[in-house]
């Protein structure tokens, strides 16, 4: 069965054409954490973190068609031209996510990492972040004062990007934050 | 997949600059709107393809992005999602622990091929008593109790691993809240029990959980279910876990 294509996603904008070409015209790549911790229901309106993330990402794609490339990471990493993020599961293989996004970053897209915690392999994430040929902005989505928050703050620092904390209780703030980064990339 | 610039110019992705130029010249003549069989649309596509592929920087970027897409493995997320407890009738539904109370989960599998346990680093590693190797990783267990019962055949690796270490069926596993050490003192974490339907394990050893994650809010992460599913995929092992909130 064919999966639905989210309005404004890369695939929707490509209209059956070359998706890789459409990606080169995008502005930002959103690196979305889809590990199972994103199932935790502590976000806005007692929703799970991933549900709020989904809503924001879909709204932004509709608002800024063809501007956003989605990359998810959990046990592995995938790219999602159809604009639909996968159901969360497994671990936080942030390294795989960064590796997947690397060609896009090198192609000039601004990268924004959205995650709620520490990766499986913090060392390799830090190393990759240092070597990125572009900035990596980080939006930490979790409780204040966690080890994950400290780690991601450090990632943003070494990748010369900005850092922001949002507990997803007020998703509008995160949406505005990503919008600002997107417009800056433009 | 839709036509790439390579398809448009009818060349291979490893074509050199000369081959690109040659293909372009041939095709612009063929598709030129002034020629008898010309097409403005095809002509424009050829122009665009050449513009991209004749610029080494643009081509390199395009190739890199294309490679990401071509390397992507097909996934069946719906299938994966349906294997989650509660969403697949083959697995008993369960309630995640934390504030909602208790629940249980069971996995039954005899397949050995799907077993792959990886080592991970989380906030607080959990060690079995006397072992330097973490058997799981845990964040704040103070509000949650995990009870574990396992059925395993004597030939399973888990049984052998248990025999090699110091934990016994029926033991209450406790965790030292200060050091994260797992053993017989500290907060109760869970009890290893034998199952009436399986082999009573009289040996002892480490329960090789990939990870045990308990969040700061007291909710058990479904990572535990993933870990159990992996473990249950091993030959001769059935695992049952019940999770409840401690007073």
ipTM of the complex: 0.82
What pLDDT, on the 0 to 100 scale, is given for residue B236? 46
Q: Which residues of A16-46 are buried (b: 16+ CB within 10 A; e: fewer)?
A: eebbbbbbbebbbbbbbbbbbbbbbbbbbee
Please indicate if any CB of chain A lies within 8 Å of the CB of B222: yes
How confident is the model at residue A186, as a pLDDT? 65
- Is residue A160 one of the residues assigned to a domain? yes
In-domain check, residue A89: yes
The residue of chain A with its CA nearest to that of B7 is: A18
Q: Which of A39, A79, A91 sits opposite B68 (nearest CB)?
A: A79
CA–CA gap between residue B104 and residue B148 (Å, rounded): 10
Inside any domain, residue A2:
no
Q: Which residue of A has its CA nearest to B49?
A: A21
To the nearest whole number, what is the mean pLDDT of chain A?
A: 89
Q: How far is CA A139 from the centre of its chain?
A: 9
Structure confidence at residue A43 (pLDDT): 86
- Tokens 């599913």 belong to which residue? B229
Instruction: Establish, for the pair of chains A and B, how many residue pairs have beta carbons separated by less than 8 Å.
Output: 96
Q: Which two tokens stand for residue A22?
A: 């459409």
Task: Indicate whether A4 belongs to any domain.
Answer: no
Of A166, A162, A158, A152, nearest to A182 by C-alpha is A162
CB nearest A24 (choices: B61, B81, B120): B61
CATH code for position A114: 3.40.50.410
Tell me if B213 and A37 make a contact (CB, 8 A cut-off).
Answer: yes
Residue A117 lies in a domain: yes
Nearest CA distance, B77 vs chain A (angstrom): 7
Q: Cβ B72–A121 below 8 Å, yes or no?
A: no
Each residue's pLDDT tens digit, B224-237: 444 444 444 444 44
**pLDDT top residue among A157 and B217:** A157
Residues 6 or more apart whose Cβ sits within 8 Å of residue B143: B98, B218, B245, B246
Residues from chain B contacting residue A18 (CB–CB below 8 Å): 1-5
Chain A CB contacts of B61 below 8 Å: 24, 103, 106-108
> Does the residue A1 lie in any domain?
no
Q: Which of A61-65, A170-174, B122-126 is predicted least confidently?
A: B122-126
- CATH 1.10.287.110 residue window(s) in chain B: 5-71
Q: What is the DSSP letter of A168?
A: S
Q: Are B174 and B185 in contact (CB under 8 A)?
A: yes
Give me the percent of chain A exceeding a pLDDT of 90. Answer: 58
Name the residue among A72, A55, A60, A74 with its Cα closest to residue A26: A60
List the single residue in B64, B69, B213 with the smallest CB-CB distance to A106.
B64
- DSSP secondary-structure letter at B138? -
Q: Flag if A20 and B222 touch (Cβ within 8 Å).
A: no
Query: What is the per-residue pLDDT across A72-106, written as a single tens digit (0 to 9) for each?
Result: 999 889 999 999 999 888 788 999 999 999 999 98
Is A14 inside any structural domain?
yes
Collect all residues of chain B within an 8 Å Cβ-Cβ radius of residue A39.
221-222
- Assign domain B5-71 to its CATH architecture: Orthogonal Bundle (1.10)
Give the pLDDT band of residue A141 (cuts 50, 70, 90). very high
The reply to whether A78 touches chain B by the CB within 8 Å rule is yes
Considering only CB atoms, which chain B residues are within 8 Å of A118?
Answer: 121-123
Please determine, for residue A16, whether its predicted confidence score (pLDDT) is greater than 70: yes
Closest CA to A90 of B91, B46, B213, B247: B213
**Residue range of the domain that includes A65:** 10-185
Q: How many separate domains does chain A show?
A: 1
**Which residues of chain B register pLDDT less than 50?**
1, 77-152, 154, 158-167, 172-247
- The rounded Cα B163 to chain-centroid distance in angstroms is 28
Q: CB distance B120–A91 less than 8 Å? A: yes
Is the Cα torsion angle A167, A169, A170, A172 positive or negative in sign?
Answer: positive
d(CA B200, CA B154): 9
Give the mean pLDDT of A148-177.
Answer: 90
Could you say which residues from 40 to 79 on chain B have a Cβ atom under 8 Å away from some Cβ of chain A?
Answer: 52, 61-62, 64-69, 72, 75, 77
In a domain, A5, yes or no: no
Q: What is the pLDDT of residue A40?
A: 81
A104-112: average pLDDT: 91
pLDDT value at position B156?
Answer: 53
């Amino acid at each position: 069965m064919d999966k639905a294509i989210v309005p404004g996603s890369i695939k929707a904008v490509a209209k059956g054409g070359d998706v890789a070409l459409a990606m080169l015209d995008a502005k930002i790549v959103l690196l979305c954490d889809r590990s199972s911790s994103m199932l935790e229901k502590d976000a806005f309106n007692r929703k799970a973190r991933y549900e709020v993330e989904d809503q924001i990402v879909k709204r932004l794609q509709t608002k800024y068609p063809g501007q956003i490339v989605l990359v998810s990471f959990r046990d592995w990493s995938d790219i999602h031209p159809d604009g639909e993020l996968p159901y969360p599961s497994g671990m936080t293989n942030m390294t795989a996510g960064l590796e997947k996004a690397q060609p896009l970053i090198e192609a000039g897209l601004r990268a924004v990492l959205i995650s709620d915690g520490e990766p499986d392999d913090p060392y390799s994430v830090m190393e990759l972040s240092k070597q990125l040929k572009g900035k990596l902005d980080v939006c930490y989505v979790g409780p204040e004062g966690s080890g994950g928050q400290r780690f991601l703050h450090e990632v943003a620092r070494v990748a010369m990007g900005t850092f922001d904390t949002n507990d997803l209780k007020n998703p509008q703030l995160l949406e505005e934050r990503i919008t600002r980064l997107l417009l800056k990339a433009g | 997949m839709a036509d790439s610039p390579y398809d448009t110019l009818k060349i291979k992705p490893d074509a050199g600059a000369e081959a690109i130029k040659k293909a372009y010249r041939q095709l612009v003549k063929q598709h030129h709107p002034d020629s008898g069989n010309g097409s403005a649309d095809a002509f424009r596509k050829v122009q665009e393809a050449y513009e991209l592929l004749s610029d080494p920087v643009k081509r390199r970027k395009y190739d890199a992005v294309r490679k990401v897409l071509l390397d992507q493995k097909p996934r069946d997320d719906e299938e994966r999602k349906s294997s989650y407890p509660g969403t697949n009738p083959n697995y008993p539904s369960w309630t995640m622990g934390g504030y909602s109370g208790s629940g249980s989960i069971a996995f039954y599998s005899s397949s050995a091929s799907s077993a792959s346990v990886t080592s991970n680093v989380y906030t607080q590693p959990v060690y079995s008593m006397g072992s330097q190797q973490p058997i799981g990783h845990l964040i704040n267990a103070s509000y949650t109790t995990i009870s574990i019962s396992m059925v395993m055949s004597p030939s399973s690796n888990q049984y052998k691993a248990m025999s090699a270490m110091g934990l016994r069926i029926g033991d209450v596993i406790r965790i030292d809240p200060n050091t994260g050490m797992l053993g017989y003192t500290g907060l109760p974490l869970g009890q290893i029990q034998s199952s009436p339907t399986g082999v009573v394990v009289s040996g002892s050893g480490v329960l090789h959980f990939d990870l045990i994650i308990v969040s700061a809010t007291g909710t058990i992460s479904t990572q535990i279910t993933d870990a159990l599913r992996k473990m249950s995929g091993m030959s001769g092992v059935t695992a049952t876990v019940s999770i409840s909130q401690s007073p």
